[in-house]
């Protein structure tokens, strides 16, 4: 079976600084893949490229959907016009469309949904409303049917509310549905963000340091949830994490980055014993205690 996500020769430059050079890895469907590495290794930059927030300077990021569609996650961000675009009206049209309407939103619509290191909730909206916003693709967005409250609209809306409650219950947030997201405790906000991502119907769920700031018990619950998501909901997970115990416990595949390059990749045990990885980590004091 082919990989869900293929990253090849990914390069990212900010001005003169090369943040990533030639990063490549694959994410198999239904797997949990962890991106690890010392601070400043470029993990979040990879994430931002994959989820469409940065336009990579070079390389390829392809998403192969189970239906056999192939989405180029760099093209949809709308790059500058190239010579070929002026010959082919089709290519020109695509480029123009992506320039006007492209961006991270299209990556999300293709099925790459993420969470953020510094939680980004809609703080002045209730937890449930947060989850309703995420179900953009499933509700009736037409203005007229909403204003007339047609039957189809009400059914879609009721179903969305139902689904939102399901995910709230899943992450044990059932009692907090009508509270403002910004008022929830930190750990709950983290969970709500993952619940919200799940409502956006992800194929590839990208979690940016989901365990940051959680206590050991919450981290243990989180690892159960992630495994349950994969098993019960057919989601492929890609995560950045510093908590090595969590990484070892849940991931099938680990990619180690250092200085913007992949220095090792493989099964968790193999990566853990790799001397190159150890050296990279020991070179960055304060990172080794999780081992």
Instruction: Give the shortest CB-266-to-another protein separation in angstroms.
Output: 28
Q: DSSP secondary-structure letter at 126?
A: B
Q: Which of residues 38-67 bind another protein (CB under 8 A)?
A: 44, 48, 51-54
Q: Identify which range of 175-183, 211-219, 221-229, 246-254 contacts another protein by CB under 8 A.
A: 175-183
Are 42 and 17 in contact by the 8 Å Cβ rule? The answer is: no
Q: Which is nearer to another protein, 70 or 123 (CB)?
A: 123
- Within the chain, where are the H helices? 43-50, 89-101, 104-110, 127-134, 143-148, 151-170, 186-199, 216-233, 244-250, 268-272, 275-282
Residue of 140, 249, 252, 274 interacting with another protein (CB under 8 A)? 140
Q: Identify which range of 5-13, 68-76, 154-162, 263-271 contacts another protein by CB under 8 A.
A: 154-162
Decide: is 259 part of the binding site for another protein (CB under 8 A): no
Q: Which is nearer to another protein, 167 or 281 (CB)?
A: 167
Q: Which of residues 100-119 bind another protein (CB under 8 A)?
A: 100-101, 103-106, 108-109, 113-116
Q: Which is nearer to another protein, 157 or 287 (CB)?
A: 157
Decide: is 134 part of the binding site for another protein (CB under 8 A): yes
Residue of 35, 197, 214, 222 interacting with another protein (CB under 8 A)? 197
> In 3D, which of 225, 261, 256, 260 has the Cα closest to residue 242?
256
Decide: is 79 part of the binding site for another protein (CB under 8 A): no
Decide: is 237 part of the binding site for another protein (CB under 8 A): no
> In 3D, which of 38, 41, 34, 4 has the Cα closest to residue 254?
34
Are 8 and 24 in contact by the 8 Å Cβ rule? The answer is: yes
The single residue listed with the structure tokens 């994410």 is: 27
Query: In degrees, to the nearest 5, what angle opens at C-alpha 279 toward C-alphas 274 and 280?
Result: 100
The single residue listed with the structure tokens 């179900």 is: 135
> In 3D, which of 130, 121, 243, 132 has the Cα closest to residue 185?
121
Q: Identify which range of 28-36, 63-71, 82-90, 140-148 contacts another protein by CB under 8 A.
A: 140-148
Q: In what order do the strands lie in the sheet with 112-114?
A: 112-114, 204-208, 236-240, 32-36, 253-258, 261-266
Q: Identify which range of 23-31, 86-94, 125-133, 262-270 contacts another protein by CB under 8 A.
A: 125-133
Decide: is 240 part of the binding site for another protein (CB under 8 A): no
What dihedral do alpha carbons 49, 206, 249, 28 form, nearest 10°?
Answer: -70
Decide: is 172 part of the binding site for another protein (CB under 8 A): no
Decide: is 287 part of the binding site for another protein (CB under 8 A): no
CA distance 30 to 7: 17
Residue of 23, 36, 74, 200 interacting with another protein (CB under 8 A)? 200
Residues that bind another protein (CB under 8 A): 14-15, 44, 48, 51-54, 100-101, 103-106, 108-109, 113-116, 120-126, 128-130, 132-134, 136-137, 139-141, 143, 146-147, 149, 158, 161-162, 164-165, 177-178, 180, 196-197, 200
């Amino acid at each position: 079976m082919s990989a869900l996500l293929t990253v090849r020769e990914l390069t990212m430059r900010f001005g003169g600084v090369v943040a990533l050079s030639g990063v490549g890895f694959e994410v198999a469907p239904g797997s949990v893949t962890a991106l690890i590495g010392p601070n400043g290794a470029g993990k979040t930059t990879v994430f931002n490229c994959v989820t469409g927030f940065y336009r990579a300077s070079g390389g390829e990021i392809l998403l192969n959907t189970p239906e056999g569609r192939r989405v180029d996650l760099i093209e949809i961000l709308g790059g500058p016009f190239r010579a070929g675009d002026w010959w082919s009206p089709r290519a020109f049209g695509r480029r123009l469309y992506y320039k006007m309407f492209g961006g991270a939103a299209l990556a999300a619509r293709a099925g790459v949904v993420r969470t953020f290191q510094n939680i980004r909730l809609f703080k002045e909206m209730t937890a449930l409303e947060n989850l309703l916003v995420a179900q953009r693709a499933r509700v009736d967005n037409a203005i007229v049917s909403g204003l007339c409250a047609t039957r189809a609209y009400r059914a879609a809306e009721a179903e969305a509310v139902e689904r939102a409650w399901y995910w709230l219950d899943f992450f044990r947030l059932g009692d907090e549905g009508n509270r403002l997201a910004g008022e929830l405790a930190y750990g709950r906000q983290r969970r709500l963000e993952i619940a919200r991502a799940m409502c956006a119907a992800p194929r590839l769920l990208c979690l940016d340091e989901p365990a940051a700031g959680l206590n050991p018990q919450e981290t243990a619950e989180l690892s159960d949830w992630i495994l349950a998501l994969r098993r019960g909901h057919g989601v492929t997970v890609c995560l950045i994490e510093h908590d090595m115990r969590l990484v070892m416990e849940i991931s099938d595949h680990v990619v180690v980055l250092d200085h913007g390059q992949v220095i090792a990749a493989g099964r968790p045990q193999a990566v853990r014993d790799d001397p190159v990885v150890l050296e990279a980590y020991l070179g960055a004091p304060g990172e080794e205690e999780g081992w």
